[in-house]
Amino acid sequence: MNVVANNITDNDCTRMVDHKDWKVDPDGSFFCFCANETVNGFEFDFETFPWHLIPKDMPVVCDMSSNIGTKNVPYDKLAMIYMGA
């Protein structure tokens, strides 16, 4: 597993690590991220998400456990969405 950005250790989940510091493995099987961190209120904005950093043919998986149904979802960019309780 390659950790692209660790928002917990770097920013205490209050803001995202600067995208220029992301380290996406071009040989990865997929790219997975959590769209919303509920304790501190950090949430990705799909409009400004750095889609260009993810290799074109790499499947993108998104955990939307806490924010599914709260915003428009770019289904055309996501291979899978999952939710848990």
In a domain, 1, yes or no: no
Domain count, the chain: 1
Q: In which residue ranges of the chain is pLDDT below 50?
A: none
How far apart CA 71 and CA 56 sit, in angstroms, is: 24
- The two three-digit tokens of residue 31, written as one number: 């790219």
Residue 11 pLDDT: 65
In a domain, 2, yes or no: no
In a domain, 37, yes or no: yes
What Rg, from alpha-carbon coordinates, does the chain have? 13
State the number of CA atoms in the 13 A half-sphere of 42 facing the CB: 14
Tell me the whole-structure pTM to 2 decimals: 0.83
Residue 68 pLDDT: 86
Residue 13 pLDDT: 67
H/E stretch holding 47 reads none
CB 42 within 8 A of CB 49: no
Instruction: Return the closest-CA partner of residue 46 out of 35, 57, 61, 58.
Output: 35
Domain membership of residue 22 as a residue range:
7-82
In a domain, 77, yes or no: yes
